[in-house]
Amino acid sequence: MTAIAPILPETIQLAVSTLRRGGLVAIPTETVYGLACDATNPDAVARLYEAKGRPRFNPLIAHVASLPMAQKEAQFSAAASHTAAMLWPGPLTLVLPVAEGGTVCDLARAGLDTIALRMPAHKGARDLIEAFGKPLVAPSANRSGHVSPTRAEHVKADLDGKVDLILDGGPCEKGIESTIVSFVGERPQLLRAGALETSVLDNFLFGGIARGGEGEGITAPGQLKSHYAPDATLRLNAETPEPGEGWLGFGPGPHMGLNLSPSGDLHEAAARLFAALRALDGRYDRIAVAPIPNEGLGEAINDRLARAAHRD
């Protein structure tokens, strides 16, 4: 049985000790709960992959507590440095060329010559990384491909006995994963829509951001076509549930079931998405999902739903 503990100075020190001996600690962030281990320790990373059942060709995000820590791991262009300075800490992951002398192990990067880096906005997560003194990889703390966890009890439901400690920081504020942008080419490229709206990046970056990443192999986390998936089959853009289907609504409507946001608020919908999928997955074999506007955070929500609905 894995213990759940509140984030306190003494539990952070317990987590640091666990990480230093190669253990696994589930941690809260503002996006989803992450399964953390020492990013420089290939044995710990191998154990993390095993605990999640994660394909090893799928790279991990290294989480840092400061820009100087990140700059030891990656080569930052002027545009990447400016973006990090303005938008970190927050739900934005940057994919960058690996720095000479970087410490994040090859296994965590899936053998790529790039690295994905993020500085989480959650204070407890940053306090832990700072106390540990090195980057932590922290993919979502769930079975690989399953619905991402937004509460400590979601982690326990998926990984009880496979992790050493779960730090409880309450419900995640954002509820969906970070936006991923590559700064490897001449123009920044969106690899995954996420909790930071792409319109912010379009307005912030000179020349805007290119959309891409599909069909180019796995270059960053979260690019598998089948991902974030419940056991139940999803039917997207449904106007009404069919007999035997669970209903996941959005906006005002007459159907009984769960509603991501009765008022049509995309921020509220994003925060509730994974918890709602988990709740319905336990009760239905099929889930009908109402249409979600593909604008703002709706882009990220629809991305997650499409991956959840995909069946190989």
In order, the DSSP letters of 99-132 are PTT--S-TTTTTT-SEEEEE--S-HHHHHHHHHH
Dist. CA 8–CA 167, nearest whole Å: 9
pLDDT at 68: 97
Give the closest residue to 48 by CA, choosing from 64, 32, 35. 35
Give me the pLDDT at residue 207, please.
66
Give me the phi and psi of 64, to 5 degrees please.
Answer: -125, 160
Output the pLDDT for position 215: 43
Strand ranges for 43-188 from DSSP E:
61-63, 92-97, 114-118, 136-137, 165-168, 179-182
**Contact of 18 with 47, CB cutoff 8 Å:** no
Residue 296 confidence (pLDDT): 81
258-259, strands of its sheet edge to edge:
233-235, 286-289, 246-249, 258-259
pLDDT band at 261 (very low <50, low <70, confident <90, very high): very high
Q: What is the pLDDT of residue 55?
A: 59
CA 182 to chain centre: 16
Share of the chain above pLDDT 70, in %: 92
Domains, the chain, ordered by start: 4-211 (3.90.870.10), 233-309 (no CATH)
More confident residue, 213 or 292: 292
Residue 59 has pLDDT above 90, yes or no: no
Provide the pLDDT for residue 282: 85
- The answer to whether 244 and 284 are in contact (CB under 8 A) is yes
Q: Please give the average per-residue pLDDT across 167-183, as a whole number.
A: 96
Confidence (pTM): 0.81
Confidence (pLDDT) at 214: 45
Better-predicted residue by pLDDT, 296 or 36 = 36
Distance, C-alpha 29 to centroid of its chain: 9
Report whether pLDDT(312) > 70.
Answer: no
Ranges 154-158, 207-211, 292-296, most confident: 154-158
61: confidence class by pLDDT, cuts 50, 70, 90: very high
Whether residue 234 contacts residue 271, with contact meaning beta carbons closer than 8 Å, is answered with no
The pLDDT of residue 198: 86
Which range (1-15, 151-165, 172-186, 295-309) has the least confidence?
295-309
Q: Which of 8-17, 195-204, 271-280 has the highest mean pLDDT?
A: 8-17
CA distances to 135, 159, 161, 225, 284 from 165, in Å: 18, 10, 9, 30, 31
pLDDT in the model for residue 212 = 60
Alpha carbons 61 and 271: distance in angstroms, whole number: 21
* Confidence at residue 217, expressed as pLDDT on a 0 to 100 scale: 54
End-to-end CA distance of the chain: 33
Residue 152 sits at the vertex; the CA angle it makes with 148 and 156, to the nearest 5 degrees, is 80
Beta strand 258-259 with 210-211: parallel, antiparallel or unpaired? unpaired
